[in-house]
Structure 1
Amino acid sequence: MTQMKRRGAYVKALVAGGLAAGLTCATVAGPAQADVNRRPPRINSIIPVDGGLRVTWGPDTFFSGTVAGEATVLTFGGYQEGTWNDRGATTSFTIPAAHVRAYAGQAPRVTVCYLWPGVGHPSECASSDPIPIAGNVPSFPPGAGQLRPVPKPQNLRVVAYGDYRATVQWVNGSSYKKVLFRYDPGVQVDMPGNATKATTGTLVPGKTYTFKVEGAWSGGLFATRYSGWTEITYTVPKNPPFWPGGSVKKPYGPDTCKQGYVWRETTPADHVCVTPATRDQVRADNALAASRRQGWGPYGPDTCKQGYVWRGATPADHVCVTRATYNQTQADNALAASRRVP
């Protein structure tokens, strides 16, 4: 169903006060958002039509498995133009000419958000560049409203391999706000915009991986835009040198895990053997660590926000996690010896 209303109390609660209800600016936060497929919509084009603006959007097709939200919301400047509770089925809308004329002399943005139900499920939003409205009509010719593409990273390559880890390097295509590095299904690392190198976790000999990197620009509220992925494939050598202290029976040394387990890697030195799902959760928790710290309180700058506790993989592990994750971490610590190859 489409809602047409001025940006009144409802929209102010959604946008201005929405942070309290879980609305964020193109961010994934909270344990329910460990799924990296929750990504902002990608605005494909904004085309003037009879004094109005035809907007088209969709999931980020460069990100395999991206899912649309349960609902889609489109705003133009101070108007909420429409809400569709159709799980991403609606991918276009024409902003009426009267709404465009209301912004004569201004430069509003178009914003499209995906929303997921429930507290703690943040929205994922994307915005256009400001659109100048001169003479009661958009001041650019048809087609010019399409977003300027974000240049992709170039020359992605593997520059080193050792200890079952690969180091990749690339050349950034522009001054990014952040860089995303991805390998293996579900493993993604967000890095600063000037990052040009990343090292993987432990890789499986003989397995072929796809390494991906993309850059992101941000110009203001809800204005994150992505370059799309630059990718290469890499096959890990089948007979690489053993891990220091390794042998045929224990290729990773005394900490070699039994089949079905992998190193937890809360830090590079954490060799507690856990399930792959637990290691994925560790990576998600590490990526969200800063957002879960209160920054002050009875435990100093590492004091967690309400609802989180220190993970405690080691006495120095102050990453804030849910109580369930804390319990899992302590159980894994207790079972560590039984999961190593004897």
Structure 2
Amino acid sequence: MADHYEVLGVSREATTDEIKKAYRRLARELHPDVNPGEEASERFKLVTHAYDVLSNPDQRARYDMGGDNAFGGGGAAGFGGFGDIFETFFGAGGGARGGRPRSRRERGQDALVRVTLELGDVVFGAHRDIEVDTAVLCETCEGSCCQPGTQPVRCDICQGSGHVQRQVRSLLGNVVTSAPCNICQGYGTTIPYPCGTCQGQGRVRARRTVSLDIPGGVETGLRLQLPGSGEVGPAGGPNGDLYVEVTVTNHDVFSRDGDDLLATLEVSMPDAILGANTTIESLDGPVDLEVRAGVQSGDVLTIKGRGITPLRGTQRGDLRVGVHVVTPTRLDHKERALIEDFAARTKAPAPRLAEFHQGLFAKLRDRFRNG
């Protein structure tokens, strides 16, 4: 059996909080609802078993003293270690009494849903009502698992202990062993009249609506955790958590760069020469923009505070507009004569190679192309 510390990816000196954080991270990654593969399922079992051992101070101490064999992890036949000997003779609960009965109430599993947002939703955040298909508390029995008016009955076989004992002859003489009761499955009680609605489970499958306020600044792949919004546990046990994974769709005009928004502004040649005032539509309404005279392709005009609200903070990013000067391709006789006259008057130099540089607009253009 693999070393429990290696399974969780922590050192042997790891604190309880570090072990818990490692387990939660791996459980979210490997949980069958998120990763249904067989390999992930086996790893999930290993991670859960490792956490069960290392999160218990007494079991962790025994494990540290005896390694895997302290819990029967060795591959040798017969007794795997002291843990196997104690479990064989005295039961998993320790001692002839077999420990306490199991509780029917267990924590529910976590759930994962995905929500798709538009880029505009990311600017200020958005509200969504999400439909979740999950387990909810049975309204008929309210989690008791019994028909209304009835209740669980103490098991006659184990007398409510959840374990049965028997004497066996061994190399050490007559010893008393303890094992979970087959009649009550270790609960100590039986349900003679199970609820007909939930079949004695205390919960049923149903669709319910979860209201979610998505903060501004989220991005694709981010997962939001809603504690206690997952499925209810067996017998009305506490709810698991709900994880919401966000996907942000591409926008036709705007792109994202951190908390800034990027856009391209097409400017005619006359406006580039003379300058112009215009109004553009940002994601949260119209905004005035001044195009200064002599603007060049590749220049970037910045509009402060019209970007995205950060996930943690209140100062919005900027809207950065890259200028693209549009050269006319079709000229009539008079237009061509004017341009020729303009060229003669300005005595512009002939086209020539210039020093290469990666301008800001080129970076924006590359981002648009790759995004």
- Give me the TM-score of the superposition, normalised by structure 1: 0.29
Q: Which of the two has higher C-alpha Rg?
A: 2
Query: Which structure ranks higher in relative contact order (CA pairs < 8 Å, sequence separation ≥ 6)?
Result: 2
Task: Considering fraction of residues, name the structure with more helix.
Answer: 2
- Give me the TM-score of the superposition, normalised by structure 2: 0.27
